[in-house]
Amino acid sequence: MMDFLRRLMDNASNGDAFFLKGLRDANAGENERAMKSFEEAALRYRREEAVEKLARLRAHQLMVKYKTEASATEKQRIIEEVVLRLSKLAEIESPLPPFAPADSREVLRNWMEDKTLFIGECVAEHQARIEEEAILAELDSALPCELIGAIAGKERVEPVELTK
């Protein structure tokens, strides 16, 4: 009997109610609960064939997922996906109470404020890795010959200036 009543209540709730609950949960820092509410809303939106609502919901899901992601690479991918999704929407619910519809560009701008430092760090980290790989590749090709000569003749090896 309880299962029947729960199914009846689930069907009575529409996707909007679960979406709003997910936004409230995310705002309160209850990210796992928010993701569950978003999935419930998505289930109903698919049933209702509410494509635009589902698109807005998925953007919010990604913004919440960003908060819980540990991998810098995955965070970078999520940022790119959020930018892509929000650029395709005219409006989206604000992630802040009262969760009123807002211009998606404004929501993106506000969401990105604390991400720009992270993006800069990722780019700098990536560039440093490329430079390190280039230096190591150059050392791998140059060192054996210089070391052999230095060891055989016990000559002093002058430092070589690396060029980019």
> Total structural domains in the chain?
2
CA distance 159 to 164: 16
Q: Examine the domain organization and report whether 120 and 151 are in the same domain.
A: yes
Q: Examine the domain organization and report whether 40 and 119 are in the same domain.
A: no
Residue 56 neighbours by CB distance under 10 Å: 23
The pair of structure tokens assigned to 128 is 């440093």
Q: Examine the domain organization and report whether 63 and 119 are in the same domain.
A: no
- Given a cut of 90, is residue 8 above it in pLDDT? no
Q: Examine the domain organization and report whether 134 and 72 are in the same domain.
A: no
**Tens digits of residue pLDDT in 110-163:** 999 877 655 555 555 656 666 667 666 655 555 555 555 555 555 555 665 666
Q: What are phi and psi of 154, to 5 degrees?
A: 50, 40
- The predicted pLDDT at position 151 comes to 53
Q: Examine the domain organization and report whether 34 and 91 are in the same domain.
A: yes
For 110, how many CA atoms within 13 A lie in the half-sphere containing its CB? 11
133 is in which domain, residue-wise?
115-164
Over residues 64-76, mean pLDDT:
91
Q: 45-53: list long-range contacts, CB under 8 Å, 24+ apart.
A: 45/15, 48/14, 48/15, 50/15, 52/89, 53/15, 53/16, 53/19
Residue 112 neighbours by CB distance under 10 Å: 15
**Tens digits of residue pLDDT in 74-91:** 999 999 999 999 999 999
- Given a cut of 60, is residue 71 above it in pLDDT? yes
Residue listed under structure tokens 């002093």: 156
Q: Examine the domain organization and report whether 124 and 158 are in the same domain.
A: yes
Over residues 85-104, mean pLDDT:
94
pTM listed for this prediction: 0.65
SS3 106: helix
- The predicted pLDDT at position 135 comes to 63
